[in-house]
Structure 1
Amino acid sequence: MIIKQFKLIYFRIPIIIKLLITIVILMCFFGTVIHFIEPMQFPTIFEGIWWAFVTAATVGFGDYVPLTTSGRLIGILLILTGGGLIGFYVSSIATGTIKREQDIEHGRLAFKGTGHLILVGWNERTRQLIKVVFDNNPNEKIVLIDRTLRHISFNEFPIHYINGDATEDTILERANIRYAERVLLTADLVKNERQADTYTILATVAIRGNNETIPIIAEILSKTQIENALRAGATTIIRSNDFMSALFYHELTHSAAVTPFEDILQILSKQQFSHITLPVELENKRFVEVSHHLLIGDHLLLGIIRDRKYCIHPSANLLLLNGDILVTLVRL
């Protein structure tokens, strides 16, 4: 029974550790044998073991050498066995290191950290978002899940990449979804709107099933799918099509501005949007009064969220009620 348990434990040990254990046992064996064969040349077992390691590693310090024929035969056996084992051990370490780097680059390695941000979908918007995040918080831990990207260079993008489908539990577990801080799902613009939204909703269901409390920000292209995304568990819906349509209309109906809109977005990237629950002392006060109050604390009030609906730039006389969420812009 004891031998069976030992075998089970031994077979679970990584091969690198097995090799190291084998090498140590073998060196101790040869070191002990050479001590008893030539006690004058190797006064202690430790000196014999030292000779065994130096000989097997082909270092050849020459401070201890066997003088008798028996001792030299032991040395030959040591070179033939121990030398090969140590060479195999070193090459295994090198191979393991290279394989780990390849696994990281190709998205096969699980993420072990906590408090991280998970991005689902690789596109130009994700690329820009990663840049903005690291510009504002270089220590942010980001995990990217994508099923189309073949590999990603860590030197170019210091993120942890996982290749796979975000609707699968095994992929989400590799991203350590249970200990993530929040998730952002971007729409796949290569697909048509319905297919892209369907995937986003399915991924939302899978994420919510693995983490009941994590905030999920989902980009939805079609207005008709917003309710489905909310039912699936999304906490925030981004309607990029509506924003782009409003931007196009603005450009079509207004004269050219001096500052390109891209520069305005770059300026906004240096600010931070914030959601604040309406304080009790500001309840039943007008929007303009609350806005003035927040300006003192460096918060620019843009609008409110009421009954899960955004109301941006409402009437100055709108009364704010208990449960309203203030949408503000804060300077970083």
Structure 2
Amino acid sequence: MINFTVRLYDRIPVLIRLLFIIALILFTFAFMLHYLEPETFPTYFEAFWWAIVTSTTVGYGDFTPTTTIGRLAAMILILFGIGFVLFFVTNLASATVNEKRRWQKGTLSSSFHDHYIIVNWNERSRQFIEQIQRAYPTRSVILIDDTLSDSPFYNSNSLQFIKGNPSFQETLKQANIRKARALVITAGLEETEQSADAQSILTLLTAKHYCDDIYIAVELLTSEQLPNARHAGADEIIASNIISSLLMTESLEQQGIAETITLLLDVEASPFLRSIPCPDEWVGNTFKEVSRQVYEDSKLLLGISKDGQTTLNPEGSTVIHEDDSIFMLDSSR
């Protein structure tokens, strides 16, 4: 029993132990003074008040012991109580500074919930975080990166940096991935595009193995890795090089298309592109019927996605099913 109590005591944080010792000292001396000098300290609360102001060196002087034994008790409280209080305050300040340093260095585990996790620090991830903050200011974001030495975020309670290899489970655990809303894997600054994609696939496999129900979007630079990303369980694949090349090709013949696509994807623009689960009232209706309904609400139906296959502007007779995802332009907020 004694060994169990010792082990339990050792597991308690130092600050909690100090606080417990200080409280025990204050309650003990308050009881002693109330018992020894009931005329000076008629209530236990007044004795406890005196013990607090004495041990914290405030010393208002509204209550003072008058007997010799009472003053001896006060001397002991001053010698031991003040030492414990100062030690507690010093450790509290040290713990605060240490936690701030760990947060800056990326070694502090996150307590975020329903947050986004983005892997690798680059220009795309920086812009992604800025857009999230503008469009969804209440959402928290965690950045995982192994190249930074300090956090790129300053004075923000909704942004946190985790330093570590994203393909390690311990790093993902530190980012509280099981409570996260989604994970975005951007291509790292590797020597070649192939090695960057290989690292992204490895991170994807680790994340899906550790938390198989999290939604993951992964950026790939080469087309060869697209089948591997699908087999690894990627929910969304962003082939950034392919998208860029398509935009550059079409912009030569159709001027302004790149700006139009960018505008459609900008959540701060109006109208903006949305993907939503099929509402119950649309199930069983045709694409043409639903298009007429939503047009009255300043919405424009663009297409349907089912089982990973997207059909833009399907035939008007196409029936919408419960498991379909709907793409639309929405002017409302």
CA contact (8 A) 1:274 1:330 kept: no
Aligned counterparts of 2:308 and 2:96: Cα–Cα separation in 1 = 49
Partner of 2:101: 102
Q: Once the 2 structures are TM-superposed, how far is the Cα of residue 213 of structure 1 from its aligned partner?
A: 2.2
Matched, 1:169 2:169: yes
User: Structure 1, residues 24-67: CA drift from partner, whole Å, max 9, x if none?
Assistant: 11122333334454444334554333322211111111112123
Matched, 1:204 2:234: no
Aligned counterparts of 1:289 and 1:35: Cα–Cα separation in 2 = 84
Aligned counterparts of 2:157 and 2:37: Cα–Cα separation in 1 = 59
User: Structure 1, residues 146-200: CA drift from partner, whole Å, max 9, x if none?
Assistant: 2223213342583233222221112222222222222211111444211111111
Task: From the superposition, tell whether residues 93 and 170 of structure 1 become closer, same or farther in structure 2 (CA, over 3 Å).
Answer: same
Aligned counterparts of 2:124 and 2:198: Cα–Cα separation in 1 = 20
Partner of 1:329: 329
CA contact (8 A) 2:111 2:176 kept: yes
Partner of 1:268: 266
Q: Once the 2 structures are TM-superposed, how far is the Cα of residue 79 of structure 1 from its aligned partner?
A: 1.5
Letter in 1 for 2:19: L
Normalization by structure 2: what TM-score?
0.82
Matched, 1:224 2:224: yes
Q: Secondary structure of 1:273's match?
A: strand
Aligned counterparts of 1:28 and 1:293: Cα–Cα separation in 2 = 72
CA contact (8 A) 2:197 2:225 kept: yes
Matched, 1:131 2:136: no
CA contact (8 A) 2:273 2:327 kept: no
Normalization by structure 1: what TM-score?
0.82
Task: From the superposition, tell whether residues 40 and 304 of structure 1 become closer, same or farther in structure 2 (CA, over 3 Å).
Answer: closer
Letter in 2 for 1:128: Q
- How many residue pairs were aligned? 324
Task: From the superposition, tell whether residues 8 and 166 of structure 1 become closer, same or farther in structure 2 (CA, over 3 Å).
Answer: same
Partner of 1:194: 194
Task: From the superposition, tell whether residues 12 and 29 of structure 1 become closer, same or farther in structure 2 (CA, over 3 Å).
Answer: same
Q: Structure 1 regions of 5+ residues with no counterpart? A: none
Aligned counterparts of 1:32 and 1:317: Cα–Cα separation in 2 = 86
Task: From the superposition, tell whether residues 12 and 157 of structure 1 become closer, same or farther in structure 2 (CA, over 3 Å).
Answer: closer
Aligned counterparts of 1:308 and 1:249: Cα–Cα separation in 2 = 25
CA contact (8 A) 1:166 1:203 kept: yes
Matched, 1:120 2:139: no
Q: Secondary structure of 1:165's match?
A: coil
Residues 228-239 of structure 1 mapped to structure 2, 5 A cutoff: 228-239=228-239
Task: From the superposition, tell whether residues 195 and 326 of structure 1 become closer, same or farther in structure 2 (CA, over 3 Å).
Answer: same
Aligned counterparts of 2:198 and 2:153: Cα–Cα separation in 1 = 30
Aligned counterparts of 2:156 and 2:140: Cα–Cα separation in 1 = 15
Q: Structure 2 regions of 5+ residues with no counterpart? A: none
Q: Secondary structure of 2:113's match?
A: coil
Aligned counterparts of 1:78 and 1:277: Cα–Cα separation in 2 = 71
Letter in 2 for 1:269: V
CA contact (8 A) 1:274 1:329 kept: no
Residues 28-67 of structure 1 mapped to structure 2, 5 A cutoff: 28-67=27-66
User: Structure 1, residues 98-135: CA drift from partner, whole Å, max 9, x if none?
Assistant: 22233333322223343222222222222222222222
Matched, 1:7 2:10: no
Task: From the superposition, tell whether residues 276 and 44 of structure 1 become closer, same or farther in structure 2 (CA, over 3 Å).
Answer: closer
Q: Once the 2 structures are TM-superposed, how far is the Cα of residue 330 of structure 1 from its aligned partner?
A: 2.7
CA contact (8 A) 1:276 1:327 kept: no
Q: Secondary structure of 2:6's match?
A: helix
Aligned counterparts of 1:24 and 1:157: Cα–Cα separation in 2 = 32
Q: Secondary structure of 1:328's match?
A: strand
Q: Once the 2 structures are TM-superposed, how far is the Cα of residue 325 of structure 1 from its aligned partner?
A: 4.8
Task: From the superposition, tell whether residues 253 and 297 of structure 1 become closer, same or farther in structure 2 (CA, over 3 Å).
Answer: same
Task: From the superposition, tell whether residues 146 and 273 of structure 1 become closer, same or farther in structure 2 (CA, over 3 Å).
Answer: farther
